[in-house]
Structure 1
Amino acid sequence: MTVSIIVPCHNESANLATLYARICSIMDACQEPWEMICINDGSKDDTLLQLITLHQRDSRIQIIDLSRNFGKEAALTAGLDAARGDAAIPLDADLQDPPEVIPELIKHWKEGFDVVNAVRLSRDGESWLKRASAHFFYRVINRMSEVDIPADTGDFRLLSRPVLDALQSLPERRRFMKGLFAWVGFRSTNVYYHRAPRHSGKTTWNYWKLWNFAVEGITSFSQVPLQMAAYLGFLVSLLAFIYAIWLVISTLVYGNPVKGYPSMMVTLLFLGGVQLMALGIIGEYLGRIYEESKHRPIYLVRQIWQRHTQHHDNHIENKTN
């Protein structure tokens, strides 16, 4: 039973040699047939050159070179689509998720589980703010979503062939993979590990990108923000109606003295802010519908290196589902 290890790469040239050495040591000790599919997601350093060198040394290393940077979710999708093994294991190239956990994932897979999640017990090398925001995000999205997304679990996990086939049948183009892994279901279990700091280099995930990633996840798997906008509108309308009744009674009882400018401005700004917030939430969902309606491919492939064969296509390969 072949195991496909999926490694999205974006400016990870400093980590590739160590990653390859550790994977070779672990997988050869497991005595399992394996392949490693590396996706070059528009790297600007010599990541592609390093990958080609590894491929020439070991034909089990396959390369998918995307035409530009499409983002990690698209790169991960490209790797999962290309996986030919009976199981696939997404793995970050920065070695924060240790390959030494792979034998335990395979062990549970052979026991009959289709999905084996690798759950983080700690996140060394990350700031307290990033750890706290990640902890908060998983709790919030699970309260909002009908799908139970495993907390403190990244892309690092094992997916059996039936799960891979199910993922390939999903038509979404804007993908939140952690949610899709949970949505397809299947029999699952967890293993636990301590996440290490990056082996080399700096992460490109700043707080703005993490915020957008969180918004993507919530809007992909929950309609609660839309419902909250509606409830907030009803609440503000109710308060405005009560305030109008109070004004009528106050005028009849105490007369109609001229009110101050500040109270009027506070009311106008509050109502305007509520309306803009509701429109922003609606806009997020409308934007997703707009992106899906264009039916653009998730990713475009420039070249593929596979089993000592380099494919030079006259056209650009694409993934359209």
Structure 2
Amino acid sequence: MKKISIVIPAHNEEDNVVLIHQRVKEVFAKLKNYTFEIIFVNDGSRDQTQAKLEQLARNFEEVKFIEFSRNFGHQPAVKAGMDLSTGNAVISMDADLQHPPELIPDMIKKWEEGFDIIYTIRTYPKQISAFKRKTSTIYYKFLSAISDVNLSEGGGSDFRLMDASVVGVVRNMNEADIFLRGLSNWMGFRRAGIRFTAGERTFGESSYDLKKMMKFAFTGITAFSVKPLYLAAYLGFIFSVFSIFGYGIYVVHSFITKTEISGWASLIMTVVFFGGLQLIIMGIIGIYLGKIFKQVKERPNYIIRSKNF
């Protein structure tokens, strides 16, 4: 019998961990040729998530838990579960039940066909705002255009299956800002996609605010490409040529008309514009320098406070 490891990060999900365990168990009750383990990763929860996980672990042998010393983030939590998994394949999914466990048999079927990575292509239900759907689509298209990975539309979900051989590659990676959505594409292997409609969060509220989403977006962009640095260089070159050309026109005009062009407002606006442009370029360089700074310190992606296996 083959073993499937289910990795579920949990941050303040006290009301959801029991439900998702029950639904996963119901799915595997119908899969007679597979055993499973559920590895919950408590990512610095401040509610009763840890107490619920310890209770589940006492009552069900398939339930494992990892408790972080603090909140390290969603991606390190997924990696921690992968690092300690023992299955022939690993499925990562969220604890809020937006990733339907009922899709697991379809993922396993694709895996048995010989694919190493089964990713999911998320579509949103009608009740999700058009703004969220549009911004998500724009982000992944922009990420694909500006980086060296190609995330298909809707394919930026952390609901995926990886063969044990792929998980072994992930274990050996020690990136300071790990971005598994991009890594699963960058590694190659044989891949297949399955579409699903995201469910609604059953309990609680998402901890992903605008600040975290923006940080996640910059992590994805800078983790797989230096194109932003080239873009900064191209902008500098273009505006330098433009300024030389514009100044030439000014000199010619002054000699022909024997007058000077006045315009303090346009001058100030030009100074402000180029000053802002320089700050943007310095910010881009600073992000990459910051990533190098964090990488060379070689601090771990996460610290485990306790676990039951």
TM-score by length of 2: 0.96
Gaps of 5+ in 2: none
Deviation at 1:148, TM superposition (A): 2.0
1:72 match: 74
Cα distance change of structure 1 residues 127 and 24 upon mapping to structure 2, 3 Å threshold: same
SS of match in other structure, 1:34: strand
- Among 277, 280, 283, the alignment partner of 1:280 is 283
Deviation at 1:165, TM superposition (A): 0.6
Deviation at 1:122, TM superposition (A): 2.6
Say whether the 8 Å CA contact 1:39–1:66 is kept in structure 2. Answer: yes
Q: Mapping of 1:54-203 within 5 angstroms?
A: 54-123=56-125, 125-153=127-155, 154-203=157-206
Cα distance change of structure 1 residues 9 and 124 upon mapping to structure 2, 3 Å threshold: farther
Deviation at 1:179, TM superposition (A): 0.5
Whole-angstrom distance in 2 between the partners of 1:62 and 1:70 = 19
SS of match in other structure, 2:40: strand
Deviation at 1:199, TM superposition (A): 1.1
1:33 match: 35
Greater mean deviation of Cα atoms: 111-120 or 123-132:
123-132
Residues 110-136 of structure 1, C-alpha deviations (whole Å, 9 max, x = no match) = 111111111113345532211111111
SS of match in other structure, 2:145: helix
SS of match in other structure, 2:231: helix
Say whether the 8 Å CA contact 1:124–1:197 is kept in structure 2. Answer: no
Greater mean deviation of Cα atoms: 271-280 or 120-129:
120-129
Q: Mapping of 1:9-48 within 5 angstroms?
A: 9-31=10-32, 32-48=34-50
Deviation at 1:171, TM superposition (A): 2.4
Q: Does 1:300 align with 2:298?
A: no
- Among 222, 225, 243, the alignment partner of 2:225 is 222
Q: Does 1:267 align with 2:270?
A: yes
Deviation at 1:258, TM superposition (A): 6.0
Whole-angstrom distance in 1 between the partners of 2:235 and 2:292 = 23
Whole-angstrom distance in 2 between the partners of 1:140 and 1:67 = 35
Say whether the 8 Å CA contact 2:174–2:301 is kept in structure 1. Answer: no
Whole-angstrom distance in 1 between the partners of 2:303 and 2:152 = 30
Whole-angstrom distance in 2 between the partners of 1:91 and 1:287 = 30
Whole-angstrom distance in 2 between the partners of 1:121 and 1:9 = 22
Gaps of 5+ in 1: 307-321
Whole-angstrom distance in 2 between the partners of 1:253 and 1:119 = 64
The one-letter code of the counterpart of 1:291 is K
Residues 132-172 of structure 1, C-alpha deviations (whole Å, 9 max, x = no match) = 11111111111122222233121101100110011112221
Over aligned residue pairs, what C-alpha RMSD do you find? Answer: 1.2
Deviation at 1:94, TM superposition (A): 0.3
Cα distance change of structure 1 residues 204 and 125 upon mapping to structure 2, 3 Å threshold: farther
The one-letter code of the counterpart of 2:180 is M
Deviation at 1:208, TM superposition (A): 2.2
Residues 29-75 of structure 1, C-alpha deviations (whole Å, 9 max, x = no match) = 11211000000100000000000000000111001111110000111
The one-letter code of the counterpart of 1:224 is K
Aligned length: 306
Residues 17-38 of structure 1, C-alpha deviations (whole Å, 9 max, x = no match) = 1111111110121121100000
The one-letter code of the counterpart of 1:193 is F
Say whether the 8 Å CA contact 1:124–1:196 is kept in structure 2. Answer: no
Q: Percent identity?
A: 36
Say whether the 8 Å CA contact 1:15–1:95 is kept in structure 2. Answer: yes
Say whether the 8 Å CA contact 1:5–1:34 is kept in structure 2. Answer: yes
Say whether the 8 Å CA contact 1:123–1:194 is kept in structure 2. Answer: yes
